[in-house]
A and B are shown apart, each in its own frame.
Chain A
Amino acid sequence: MRLYSTRLVIAAASAAAGVAIVAGCGGGPTNAEAAPAPGPVMPGMASIPEAPVATNVVSIENFAYSPAIATIKAGTTVTWTNRDQDPHTVTAMSGPFHSPVLNTGQSFRHTFTAPGRFDYLCTIHPFMTATVVVTT
């Protein structure tokens, strides 16, 4: 036997829509920087693929690597710099490079000697992913 109140149904619907229902009760944080709510954002919605950028400088900011796809020639050294309050890493999914934890302002460098496509992520926030494409 399971009893559902009307309020539960409303709460569940709100939850499904990704709305923090508890916040209205005063328990949740308010986001001081929150702009008016953006359009509906569906959890899991695929982001638009970013165009490759020819650069050897990658910024880590707002929980994202920028550019998301960096293209370089073999033999180039890429520098990543963390500009977030939170720590991040630069960790190749297939193993060839692995930064230590980068605190705010810290950088990591890696020289790519062979051509190929190198996907990497932040091991602390693994939803952060990006790619270096190395050409001959």
Chain B
Amino acid sequence: MSDSDSSTGMSRRQLLRHTAWFGAAVVLTVTGGEVISHIGGTPAPAVAAQDLRALRFVQISDSHLGFHGPANTDVTGSFSHAINQVNGLGFRPDFVMHTGDLTHLSTAAQFDQVSQMLRGLRTGAVFTVPGEHDSVDDHGQKYRARFGAGTRGEGWYSFDVKGVHVIALVNTLTLEKLGHLGADQLDFIRKDVAGLSSDTPIVVFSHIPLFAMYPTWGWGTDDAAQALSYLGKFASVTCLNGHVHQLFTKTEGNVTFYSATTTAYPLPHPGVGPGPIPVTLPAGQLGAALGIRDVSYQPGQHALAIRNLRLTDRGPA
């Protein structure tokens, strides 16, 4: 993470008291090209711009700077466009989280480029978790040199902001078929949430999904069930991941999982074709497959609102 010690009012254990938080139904609606999912039976709450208690953050993912291929011949341009879209949301997000695969091959030049570009985000703080493409051949050393300040273990961390407890996990470092958290990180999670009240909303970020989206392609985390067991007492747990380059959502008990799309190139739907091979879309369709996500939470509204915004106003390079 970087710029995390900012004056955004974000601090550990800043637990704003709020009324009951209900995990509830996820509903997907489409409005003007946006896929909006919200929790609860009521429309997504319009978070008042002037409500300083409201939490707003943005998730971006899988930028793959350094990728060269027909699926996207200008990943830098697409990422730049995504950053501009964040900056044009009409509000200043409390933070922006990049959920990994910042780079394609973990080279120093690619890390330089992504660091420079992330500095263009107008937000209170920028956080990251690594993808497997950010730890090629070095177990994440170059990644942590850039983004590891203030993190624990091999790059995991947590923080509190406006009543929400945020946990950022690393599940891309071990040579397992699936994502893997490991004993040290599981212990961190257990201790991290031990003192929290059960009505604290929990948001968990990871690169690889914490649910079994498609294990044949490695789209799952082999010890996620243990991690989620530590979160069982909480009324609402929201897990946000990247890696799969497509939108997807699933609810299991108190936990709702949201896979994000990418700013680089789409991948096939689970099981379609021989592997997670970059998909080259017909001319003019790439932008609609790419996007950003914003999330808001307003104490007292009993609802977490998630909007997935497409990069529709930019065609492929």
- Chain A bound to chain B: yes
Chain A residues packing against B (C-beta within 8 Å): 1-5, 7-8, 11-12, 15-16, 18-23, 25-34, 37-38, 41, 43-45, 62-64, 84-87, 89, 91, 93, 100-101, 104, 121, 123-127, 129
> Do residues B137 and A101 form an inter-chain contact, with CB atoms below 8 A?
yes
Kindly supply a per-residue 1/0 record for chain B positions 253-270, scoring 1 wherever the CB is within 8 Å of any chain A CB and 0 otherwise: 010000001000011111
CB contact between B175 and one of A22, A37, A123 (< 8 Å): that residue: A123
- 10 A-B pairs with C-beta separation under 8 A: A12-B250, A21-B249, A22-B35, A28-B247, A28-B261, A43-B212, A85-B69, A86-B69, A124-B136, A127-B216
- Measured CA separation A127–B271 after assembly (Å): 14
Chain B residues packing against A (C-beta within 8 Å): 22-30, 33, 35, 40-41, 69-71, 104-105, 132-133, 136-137, 175-178, 212-218, 220, 245-251, 254, 261, 266-282, 285, 288-289, 291, 308, 310
A106 to chain B: closest CB distance in Å? 12
List, in ascending order, chain A residues with CB within 8 A of B177's CB: 126-127, 129
> Do residues B246 and A28 form an inter-chain contact, with CB atoms below 8 A?
yes
> Do residues A43 and B281 form an inter-chain contact, with CB atoms below 8 A?
no
> Do residues A31 and B268 form an inter-chain contact, with CB atoms below 8 A?
yes
> Do residues A21 and B104 form an inter-chain contact, with CB atoms below 8 A?
no
Chain B, Cβ-Cβ closest to A61 = B274
A28 to chain B: closest CB distance in Å? 5
CB contact between A22 and one of B218, B248, B251 (< 8 Å): that residue: B248
List, in ascending order, chain A residues with CB within 8 A of B27's CB: 5, 7-8
Chain A, Cβ-Cβ closest to B22 = A1
> Do residues A43 and B25 form an inter-chain contact, with CB atoms below 8 A?
no
Nearest first, the 9 A-B pairs at minimum CB distance are A63-B275, A29-B266, A29-B289, A27-B35, A22-B247, A127-B218, A41-B271, A15-B250, A62-B274
> Do residues B261 and A27 form an inter-chain contact, with CB atoms below 8 A?
yes
- Measured CA separation A63–B250 after assembly (Å): 26
